[in-house]
């Protein structure tokens, strides 16, 4: 279904999938077959997030070095962090980001960076370490941003978002 060469056909196929009808193995096979980050994003948003075991899939997929599965796993993780850290070991996530982000595929690196920022923004106990890791990694430090937008560089991003909470 997601093997169509036309990207629009892939998007349509994603919209036709019934998330509850997929097994974990089928979801994993499909995410591993994705070739484009945009298709992965749609697959995560419209299928995986609605899958009965999306939390388990995210935890499984962040353990892989297959770029699209890892992207999906880290995206599910940072979306989960926006709501709650229940069941997540934040120190272990920070360890993984610190040790793996620099060598990760660009798509995975991007979503790991989002997870790092979410930890820094929403979990004050881990903020100092998240900022230190963001500084050390330096990911997206020199990216230009549009006026009023927050930089994807974690120290800037976290500081700005935390100041808005006050």
Q: What is the pLDDT of residues 88-137, one digit of tens each?
A: 999 999 999 999 999 999 989 999 999 999 999 999 999 999 999 999 99
The answer to whether position 82 is within a domain reads yes
Q: Which residue has the tokens 């979990």?
A: 123
Tally of structural domains, the chain: 1
Is-contact 98 113, C-beta < 8 A?
no
C-alpha 87/C-alpha 16 separation (Å) is 31
Is-contact 58 73, C-beta < 8 A?
yes
The answer to whether position 1 is within a domain reads no
Per residue in 146-166, pLDDT (tens digit) is 787 777 999 999 999 999 987
Domain span including residue 85:
7-165
CA of residue 63 relative to chain centroid, distance: 13
Global confidence as pTM: 0.88
The answer to whether position 138 is within a domain reads yes
The answer to whether position 67 is within a domain reads yes
């Amino acid at each position: 279904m997601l093997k169509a060469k036309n990207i629009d056909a892939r998007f349509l196929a994603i919209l036709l999938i019934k998330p509850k009808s997929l097994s974990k193995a089928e979801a994993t096979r499909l995410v591993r077959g994705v070739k484009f980050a945009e298709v992965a994003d749609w697959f995560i948003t419209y299928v995986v997030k609605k899958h009965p075991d999306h939390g388990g899939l995210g935890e499984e997929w962040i353990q892989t070095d297959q770029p699209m599965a890892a992207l999906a796993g880290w995206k599910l993780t940072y979306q989960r962090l926006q709501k709650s850290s229940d069941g997540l070991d934040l120190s272990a996530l920070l360890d993984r980001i610190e040790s793996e982000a620099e060598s990760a595929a660009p798509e995975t690196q991007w979503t790991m960076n989002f997870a790092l920022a979410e930890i820094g923004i929403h979990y004050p106990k881990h903020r100092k370490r998240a900022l230190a890791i963001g500084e050390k990694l330096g990911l997206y430090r020199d990216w230009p941003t549009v006026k009023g937008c927050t930089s994807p560089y974690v120290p800037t991003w976290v500081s700005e978002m935390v100041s808005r909470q006050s």
